[in-house]
Amino acid sequence: MVFDLLTDILIVFTIALVVGMIFNRIKVPPLVAYILTGVIVGPYGLSIIQGQEQVKNLAEIGIILLLFTIGLEFSFKDLWRIRLIAIVGGALQVGLSFAFFCGLALWLGLPAAEAILMGFLFSLSSTAIVLKILHDKGEMDSPHGSIALGILIFQDLMAVPMIMAIPFLASLSLFDPTPLLSVDSLMTLVIQDFLIVLVLVVSAKWVIPRLMHEIARTSNQEFFLLFVILVCFGVAWMVSLSGISIAIGALFAGLLISGSEYSRQASSIVLPFRDIFTSFFFISVGLLVDFQFLLANFWIIAFLIVLVIVVKTLLATAPPLALGYPLRTSLLTGLALAQVGEFSLIIAQSGFNTGILPFETYQTFLIVALITMAVTPFMIGIGPPVAGWLCEQPALSLIARGTCSIDDPSSRRVKKDHLVIIGYGVTGRNLARTARRAGIDYTIIELNPDLVMESRKQGEPIIFGDATSEGVLSHAGIPAARIAVVAINDPVAVRKIVSTCRGLSSELTIIVRTRYVSEVEALHEAGADEVIAEEFETSVEIFTVVLNKYFVPRDRIESFITEVRADGYQMLRTTSNVPGTLPDLVRHIPEVSITTLTVEPGSSLAGTTLAEINLRKRYNLLVLAIRRGEEVITGIGGETRIEAGDSAIIYAKPEDVAKGSYLFTRKKDVQ
């Protein structure tokens, strides 16, 4: 028997590996590859696997570990950060989807229990697939990425009561006219559940953290693993005594540990086991898929797939729109959530095992779910062009611009030569704070309505809107601005914003923060003047720390930084349509740079003339201009006197700047 089980596992893993590698080439999630593996080896495929019960038992372990790790990784702080879109938006999406599909099932004549279950199944989307794709595309922190995350978190939470409702729905499907629960049995159930919750709360607060601390003190990873597994299966077993699914008990077990300082270590230990056993669950789902059933009902299933994708897209687009987000962001969210989720597969299997779903309905659902999951990368990929096309339609112009009641009265004041900050994340906040201290007039564009309202209360000149819209950019004063800084995490939107800004003003200086160096060239082609790549700047920070650890002099480090930036970004730049300036000349002469140094009180230069100090001859520092308060002195000569507080604009090699910068900051005999 053991030999047969090992043989089955070997065959399953071999086929899963081959199918997974093929699917990886065409950008289809591994989850779909696992289901297809089950189809191939199952009784409706090649009938390779005979021991289906063993696979199902391994699948049960996978579901327990999956829900356990979800409980471990759940963060109430993260939920609170996106509470509006998670609670309100998630409730709207789940409620609308449930109402539509449940109503459709009732209209088609399905029994009440089956119709309710259909509402459950089609109201959920795939957290694993959507977050994986958004993460790979670098769009997790984008507006639509944050909205999708909030709705998916709410869906995952709602999956718990949905699974718990399966026994009740099963009793409904029996058409028993007698009351489901007597008063005594109901009171017994309530008291029993209350005691279980009380034990869980006490354990989470005092017992589990203390025990984990004692076990962690042993520094024995095997003991720690055994304890984590014991908590997982022990709590799951205890909760199952009340009639609740053992998988939900595993979720509660994860929540017990999630609040402790050991949750990350526990998650890292369980994660490899979870991935292995969870793959068996999706393979076990594939074992039940009848390919001949698909061929026999091809057109009906094709119609249902299109219906599910279109309806789920529309119903997931509605909540962000209702919360004031523009059409583009809302539609990108809707397309990302257009598939059926992995929790739906768990609920469907429970519904099938308890007799709620007949075989034909279950088969139809499995095939529809599988194909909607498989096309998710395509749906997310077509999002930007589809959303862009819709936003250009005159009939949708008001929604596309994202106009709403959140508007800044101060933004109506005509501004000129100001700074426009697009995106009010960490970069935007720091830039706004610096501009405010420097006395630079600025306007902020932000798409998060909560953040806009909060910042408005703090007196920030912020407007709500989608910066890909020409109307929003014009409202922010882009045609009259001197500089626009784009600091958002949506690569497609960034290119659109840069292109639109350049179309509104040929003299505007556009500075973009991007995540990857590979995006720099495309952004320059779109019209950006300066592109700061986080990937590149991170490497600069790393080698700076390394050189400091080797006690390399600070002036040499500064010289290295300047040279690397000049050489690195020079390779990524392309010709822009913006008229040439002196900084543009520096781009083509990497060995020199333009920098500004402030003359500190008591420094060697304070109170001297350029002739007396002779910066050009002695230190190879050419002073191009001096900023003194609001005045800019450009007629520079030997008689020009430098005062404390002046900002000197220097043209020199990076190493000469590093060597001579001390003259501006401290007292020293320079004669």
Where along the chain do its domains lie?
Answer: 2-383, 404-570, 592-664
Statement: residue 79 has pLDDT above 90:
no
Question: What superfamily in CATH does domain 404-570 come from?
Answer: NAD(P)-binding Rossmann-like Domain (3.40.50.720)
Enumerate residues 6+ apart whose C-beta is below 8 A from 585. Answer: none
387 touches 451 (CB < 8 A) = no
Mean predicted confidence (pLDDT) in 402-414:
48
The pLDDT value given to residue 97: 94
Q: How far is CA 374 from each of CA 23, 243, 302, 665, rounded to the nearest angstrom?
A: 10, 35, 14, 62
Statement: residue 315 has pLDDT above 90:
yes
The pLDDT value given to residue 210: 81
pLDDT higher for 540 or 473?
A: 473
Q: How confident is the model at residue 176 (pLDDT cuts 50, 70, 90)?
A: very low
Give the H or E element holding residue 593.
Answer: strand 593-598
- CA–CA separation, 275 vs 254, rounded Å? 16
In 3D space, the residue among 216, 299, 305 whose CA is nearest the CA of residue 257 turns out to be: 216
**Counting beta carbons within 10 angstroms of the beta carbon of residue 634, is it exposed (0 to 12), middle (13 to 18) or buried (19 or more)?**
exposed
Token pair for residue 45?
């495929």
| Side chain identity at residue 73, one-letter code | E
CATH of domain 2-383: 1.20.1530.20
- CA–CA separation, 44 vs 294, rounded Å? 11
The pLDDT value given to residue 240: 73
CATH topology of domain 592-664: Alpha-Beta Plaits (3.30.70)
Give the strand order in the sheet containing 593-598: 593-598, 647-652, 622-628, 631-633
Q: How far is CA 322 from each of CA 41, 226, 308, 404, 455, rounded to the nearest angstrom?
A: 46, 48, 21, 10, 21
Mean predicted confidence (pLDDT) in 379-401:
71
Q: How confident is the model at residue 313 (pLDDT cuts 50, 70, 90)?
A: very high
**Farthest CA pair distance, the chain:** 106
| Side chain identity at residue 119, one-letter code | G
Q: How confident is the model at residue 577 (pLDDT cuts 50, 70, 90)?
A: very low
Token pair for residue 618?
């002695």
Strands (DSSP E) contained in 20-85 are: none
Q: Give pLDDT tens digits for 483-513.
A: 999 998 888 888 889 999 999 988 899 999 8
Question: What is the DSSP-derived secondary structure letter of residue 207?
Answer: I
**Counting beta carbons within 10 angstroms of the beta carbon of residue 479, is it exposed (0 to 12), middle (13 to 18) or buried (19 or more)?**
middle
Mean predicted confidence (pLDDT) in 40-56:
70
Q: Which of 242-246, 346-350, 451-455 has the lowest mean pLDDT?
A: 242-246
Statement: residue 392 has pLDDT above 50:
yes
Q: How many CA atoms lie within 13 A of 526 on its CB side?
A: 23
Enumerate residues 6+ apart whose C-beta is below 8 A from 88. Answer: 319, 323
- CA–CA separation, 489 vs 317, rounded Å? 20
What are phi and psi for residue 223, nearest 5 degrees?
A: -65, -40
Pairing of strands 483-486, 462-464: unpaired
The pLDDT value given to residue 174: 55
- CA–CA separation, 133 vs 28, rounded Å? 10
Q: How far is CA 318 from each of CA 155, 384, 571, 587, 636, rounded to the nearest angstrom?
A: 16, 17, 44, 47, 62
Enumerate residues 6+ apart whose C-beta is below 8 A from 274. Answer: 62, 65, 66, 68, 69
Q: Which of 221-230, 266-275, 396-405, 597-606 has the lowest mean pLDDT?
A: 396-405
Mean predicted confidence (pLDDT) in 308-336:
89
Q: What share of the chain in percent tops pLDDT 90?
A: 12
The pLDDT value given to residue 406: 41
Statement: residue 324 has pLDDT above 70:
yes
The pLDDT value given to residue 450: 74
In 3D space, the residue among 487, 433, 478 whose CA is nearest the CA of residue 460 turns out to be: 433
Q: Which residues are registered as beta bridge partners of 651?
A: 594, 622
Enumerate residues 6+ apart whose C-beta is below 8 A from 208. Answer: 231, 256, 257, 260
Q: Which residues are registered as beta bridge partners of 623?
A: 650
Hey, is 423 helix, strand or coil? coil
In 3D space, the residue among 267, 150, 263, 140 whose CA is nearest the CA of residue 209 turns out to be: 263
Q: Which of 119-123, 126-130, 507-511 has the lowest mean pLDDT?
A: 126-130
In 3D space, the residue among 84, 92, 64 whose CA is nearest the CA of residue 155 turns out to be: 92
Q: How confident is the model at residue 576 (pLDDT cuts 50, 70, 90)?
A: very low
Tell me the pLDDT of the chain averaged across its residues.
78
The pLDDT value given to residue 396: 63
| Side chain identity at residue 107, one-letter code | W
Q: Give pLDDT tens digits for 153-170.
A: 788 778 878 887 888 888
The pLDDT value given to residue 403: 42
32 touches 370 (CB < 8 A) = yes
Q: Which of 279-293, 308-322, 614-628 has the highest mean pLDDT?
A: 308-322
Q: How confident is the model at residue 190 (pLDDT cuts 50, 70, 90)?
A: low
The pLDDT value given to residue 670: 45
For the chain, give the number of residues. Answer: 671
| Side chain identity at residue 493, one-letter code | A
Statement: residue 552 has pLDDT above 80:
no
pLDDT higher for 338 or 653?
A: 338
Hey, is 216 helix, strand or coil? helix
**Tokens 């050419």 sit at which residue?**
622
- CA–CA separation, 422 vs 486, rounded Å? 5
Work out whether the CA dihedral 210, 215, 218, 224 comes out positive or negative: negative
Q: Give pLDDT tens digits for 217-276.
A: 787 778 888 888 888 888 878 777 766 667 667 777 777 777 677 777 777 777 777 677
- CA–CA separation, 532 vs 520, rounded Å? 8
Q: Which of 148-162, 189-203, 294-308, 483-497 has the lowest mean pLDDT?
A: 189-203
What are phi and psi for residue 477, nearest 5 degrees?
A: 85, 25
pLDDT higher for 276 or 1?
A: 276
